[in-house]
Amino acid sequence: MTDANPTPERSAEPTDDGEPLRVSTVERLCADIEANVSRVIVGHDDVIEHVITAVLGRGHVLLDDVPGVGKTMLARSIAKSVDCTFSRVQFTPDLLPSDVTGVNVFNQKTREFEFQSGPVFGNIVLGDEINRAPPKTQSSLLEAMEEGQVTTDGTTRELPTPFIVIATQNAVEPNRTYDLPFAEVDRFMKKLHLGYPDPDEEAELLGRTVGDHPIESLEAVTDRETLVAARETVSTVQVAEPVREYATRLVADTRENAHIGVSPRGTISLLRAAQARAVTNGRDYAIPDDIRAEAPVVMGHRIKTTGHDRDGTAVVEDALEHVPVE
Amino acid sequence: MSTDSSGHAGDRTLSIDADEPVGSDAVRLLALGCVLVLTGAYVSVLYDITRVVGGSQSLLALVGVMLLAATGLARTIRPRTAGVLALVGAGVGFAYYLTSAGVELGVVFTAADALLSDTVALATGLPILRMVQAGVWTLGFAPAPVFLSWYLALRGRYELGVVPGGIALGFLVLTGDAGTLVTLAGTLAAVGAVAFGELERRGGSIAQADLLAVLFAVIVALSLSVTIVPGDPSGPTHLVQGEAGSLEATIDSSPQRSGISGQVDLSPEVRFTVESDQRSYWRTGVYDRFTGDEWVRTGQSSRYNGRLASPPGNYETVQQTVTAETELGIMPVAPQPLSLGGDVTRETSVSRHGQPRPETPLEPGESYTVESAKIDADPAALRAAGTNYPEEVTDRHLQTPEDTSSEFRERTAEITAEADTPYEKAAAIESHLRSSKDYSLEVTQPAGNVAEGFLLEMDKGYCVYFATTMTQMLREEGVPARYVTGYTSGQQVDDDEYVVRGLDAHSWVEVYFPDHGWVRFDPTPGGSRDDVHTDRLEEARANGNEAADTEDSEDVPIDEDDGESPASDPNEPIGSPSDPNEDNGTDPGTDPNNGTEPDDPDNGTAPPDDPGDRIDGTTSDETSLSEHLVGIVRETGAIGLIALVGLAAGARRTGAATRLRRGVGVYWHGFRAEPDQDAERAFRRLERLLAREYRPRRGSESARAYLTALSAAETEAESATPLDPRVEQVLESYERAVYGDGVSRAAADEAIEIVDDLARSRLPILGRLR
């Protein structure tokens, strides 16, 4: 079922609009977004921050959690905060790829085929319960994530900028899901867990939802152009040799200590995330701490362990524990 | 004695410290170097000997040839052949020595026991310098060990190679010729050679040599605290009961040598009395070999056999009776003694120069008689004496240290330019010294050759300087001369009685004239000497020093001016043979010490051990202190260097240096570098500071995480000192410097300042004061 809110006119806009912003501006921007999102999402500050850094670092996010903890709400509030178009795809076993990307429809009046764009044409796309759709449908989204464009019936169409996929994955009912192929999980910059809120937070959550849901009154704190410029800024953040070496050491360590370690794409993602993290801390250079903050969520899902007692995140934690920083 | 070898030692120890990774090649070089140093050690001892007696060039050439021969033969002949070669070489050298010493080779076999006893004498502390043919001996001695040890070392047999060198060095140690430093250097080199040889064999690396350096340091420390080297010449056996530092103690320190020192004292105590119908100098020692800073008597002594050699020319005889007033290790006689009488003569030995000496010290009151030859020679006869010297005289009495400068030679030639005959030369030198130098007991001994120093640089001195210099000058001019010690005639208390005190100690020169014999010359200016000595006696009397007088002498005035102080007599410009034999109280230059004037003999209030016993106590102490300092610098420096290297190696082993550097680094940033480096260094210091206070940073912990963890921990445990908020700034500078695009000078300086401040406040003592 598609619950799309397509905005085709925006998708045609050029990508490079706006000069890079100052680091301090971006820092403030992030803080604003975070504060804004926090009005809807109770707790989970770290996850909010991770999502924001992923957005700034041109990455996509996979939220892996039980239903009803606010995954969709998180995605929506972020989209709303940055004044971007938001579309949502609810993945079901019978969902077809064209339901995601869009189809050519014959227009009776003009006697021509018109492209009816799918939900993927949005700035922030929420792919809900992505593991419920068959791999073919999944891959249609994943290709879009990787390429930044969609090809239907021989026509290639650019996706809007920014294009951010926030996919959720249901951890329950494993026998009725199609696990994402390992290669495709790799395309997500981060895999995050929201988890249940604390009792206190939950009480506050309930208090907030009495009456109008706060998402309804949420207002944008920035616009799309600023977001694009901020992403420019992030990409200019300096990653010095020692930091790069530290990242490589960490990655190499996971390759040694797991069945399949972090891919080079994972390393690139790690550096991008670290760049974004540096900016949110007001620095125009990345430090090892940025790497350390991002490593678990960036690397964890890219690691395949042999045993079941130990997941990828544990391998990363191990690496962080013993790989020398300098 | 040790310039060469200490230089070697320095090189070697320094190269041990070198840290570069080197293979066995370098170890081999070090081992060979050590063998060379060992060789250098004993060759340097021999070289010092030859420098005195001559032949140093031949020695060096010989050593060089031996090294070359060993290098050439190292690969071609077998060790057994080399051993035989060395033995043959040693035999030839020994035979050469014996031949030139005038011993028939056949005697070697018949007089084996004498040879044995000679060797034993050498090995029990007889310095090689006392050997008559010391130069030849060294030339005979050197080749075998040099050849053998180098040959074996080149073949890689280091432990065998150090044996001949070790034996040679050990022998020189036993003779007392090898000084502490040379011995030490040689020993260390031997240890080093064996150790490096072992390292080479087992493929060790130079890095393991630091253990060796520690060993060296231990050896040095041990050898400095435990000394078993015999024959240390620095401990004088006083033949006269003079205190150390007195003139007597200096010139009569031992039977074989006569030292030269800086400032000396005069003792006013009466040593002996002489009954003689003629005034004379009383001779106690004759020396022929000059090393540059002391006189050595060569040759062995023999027991007195009832007759002494008589002078070649005409002479009259003079009878004396000498009575010891204190314990006396010497036997004063008027030159030239012909025969001795009395009980003590049964235990008297006579040197090759005809100077008797008691084998056991004379007791106070003991007396002996002497019959002396008074050489009958007037200046005219001496002028005509010619230069037909016997060979045995020229052999031993023309020696000058090999390194005597040409300046000294030229100066001497200048002074004697007008003189044609030996007598005129002697007179010219005598009058030159008398007129150009002042008499003073307060002098500082010049470094190096004393005669040179006195003639060319000093303007005052005392008899030892005058006599030494004149002897050397005469020898430069080819006139046989010798250095003589003894006493002046002393205070005449009766017609034929003389009281001789410690302050009468004197040294002078004897010059040989063919057909006449040894004639006395005294270059010391008499007048000022008298003044000094008379003052001293008066002072002693004023202090009530009872030993300053005998019963006879105490009433006799110190006759300061009896017209008999001829040394200062300007009316005799051409000098004078101060032969006592022609002296009837009128001989100029003979007796600087005539009568005396006891102005106050019984002022017995002051204690006898009054500070007045010294001429000038204060100056003396100061001088001796500075001399002492100068004297120890070189040896101590070398030893200190070895010890230092050992310490450094030990420190390296234990990692102490790194710790020290870190420890100091906490408090001192060091010199400024680039801002980025400074910022980084500042943070490292902060890290060490915090590590000391809290915990060290873990390797996997980032800088920021570390500080965060510390402040978190400290919030939990409130007892801890709060983390200074300024550390954040240091951290930021650090991060910016390392990961960012660098920090400004100001930021770096600020970081340094913060760390400085934090370090100061945590200083163990200073921090508490704040």
Q: Given an 8 Å threshold on Cβ–Cβ distance, is B700 in contact with A320?
A: yes
List chain A residues with CB under 8 Å of B735.
283, 285, 287
**Are residue B489 and residue B548 in the same domain, yes or no?**
yes
Shared domain for B512 and B597, answered yes or no, is yes
| Mean pLDDT within B533-548 | 69
Distance from CA of B202 to the nearest CA of A (A): 37
Write the residue in A286, A321, A324 that is nearest to B739 by C-beta. Answer: A286
For testing contact with chain B, the best of A239, A250, A285, A294 (most B CBs within 10 A): A285
Q: Which of A233, A232, A244 is nearest to A288 (CA)?
A: A244
Residue ending a domain, among B225, B257, B292, is B225
- B242 within domain boundaries: no
Tell me if B232 is assigned to some domain. Answer: no
Q: Do B738 and A242 touch (CB under 8 A)?
A: yes
Contact check, Cβ <8 Å, A325/B703: yes
What is the extent of the structural domain holding B717? Answer: 660-769
pLDDT on residue A274: 93
- A281, A320, A326: best mutation site toward chain B, by most B Cβ within 10 Å? A326
Q: Do B218 and B279 reside in the same domain of the chain?
A: no
**CATH number of the domain to which B576 belongs:** 3.10.620.30
Q: Tell me, which fold does domain A2-215+222-228 have in CATH? A: Rossmann fold (3.40.50)
Residue range B251-294, pLDDT digits in tens: 665 666 676 666 666 777 788 888 888 888 888 888 888 888 77
Q: Looking at the structure, do residues B348 and B267 belong to the same domain, yes or no?
A: yes
Element (H, E) at B501: strand B497-501
What number is the average pLDDT over the span B560-576?
38
Q: B312 and B198: one domain?
A: no
Within-domain flag for B623: no
| Nearest CB to B702; choose among A238, A240, A325 | A325
Asked whether the predicted pLDDT for residue B69 surpasses 60, the reply is yes
- Asked if B178 and B38 sit in the same domain, the reply is yes
If asked whether residues B271 and B408 sit together in one domain, one would say yes
Determine, for residues A285 and B699 on separate chains, whether the beta-carbon distance falls below 8 Å: no
- Residues of CATH 1.10.8.80 domain(s) within chain A? 237-322
Q: Do B598 and B711 fall into the same domain?
A: no
Measure the CA dihedral B258/B259/B263/B267, to 10°. -40
In the numeric block, which tokens belong to residue A125? 């796309």
**For residue B586, with 0-12 CB atoms within 10 Å meaning exposed, 13-18 middle and 19 or more buried, which class applies?**
exposed
Query: Angle at Cα B407 formed by Cα B406 and Cα B413, nearest 5°?
Result: 90
Residue B629 lies in a domain: no
Best CA proximity match to A89, nearest among A134, A124, A135, A127? A127
pLDDT at A275: 93
B740 or B562: which carries more pLDDT confidence? B740
Beta carbons of A304 and A312 less than 8 angstroms apart: yes
What is the mean predicted confidence (pLDDT) over A242-270? 90
Same structural domain, B219 and B254: no
pLDDT at B607 over 60: no
Does B603 lie in the same domain as B495? yes
Average pLDDT, chain B: 72
Residue B292's closest CA among B200, B184, B400? B400
B700·A324 Cβ contact <8 A: yes
CB contact under 8 A, A325 and B700: yes
- Cα B581 to Cα B589: distance, rounded to the nearest angstrom: 13
Query: How many domains, in total, are found in chain B?
Result: 3
Cβ-contact B438, B362 below 8 angstroms? no
DSSP class per residue in B364-381: TT-EEEEEEEEE---HHH
Same structural domain, B605 and B731 = no
Tell me, yes or no, if B704 comes closer than 8 A to chain A by beta carbon: yes
Contact at 8 Å (CB) between B250 and B450? no
Query: Is B632 inside a domain boundary?
Result: no
- A interface test, pick of B676, B684, B687, B700 with most A CB neighbours within 10 Å: B700
pLDDT(A273) > 90: yes
In the predicted structure, residue B14 carries a pLDDT above the cut 80: no
Structure tokens at B681: 């260094």
- Domain check: are B317 and B217 in the same one? no
Q: What is the pLDDT of residue B763?
A: 62
Q: CATH 3.40.50.300 in chain A: give the residue spans.
A: 2-215+222-228
Answer whether residue B592 shows pLDDT above 50: no
The angle subtended at Cα B87 by Cα B83 and Cα B92, nearest 5°, is 145
Residue B666 domain flag: yes
CA distance B687 to B666: 9
B700 touches chain A (CB under 8 A): yes
Q: How far apart are the first and last CA of chain B?
A: 56
**pLDDT computed for residue B124 by the predictor:** 65
Token digits for A209? 């939802």
pLDDT at B204: 66
Split at pLDDT 50, 70, 90, the class of B717 is low
Give the tens place of pLDDT for each residue, B454-513.
888 888 888 888 888 888 888 888 888 888 888 888 888 877 888 888 778 888 888 888
Which chain B residues are Cβ-neighbours of A242 within 8 angstroms? 738-739
Whole-number pLDDT of residue B631: 43
- How confident is residue A6, by pLDDT bands cut at 50, 70 and 90? very low
CATH of domain A237-322: 1.10.8.80
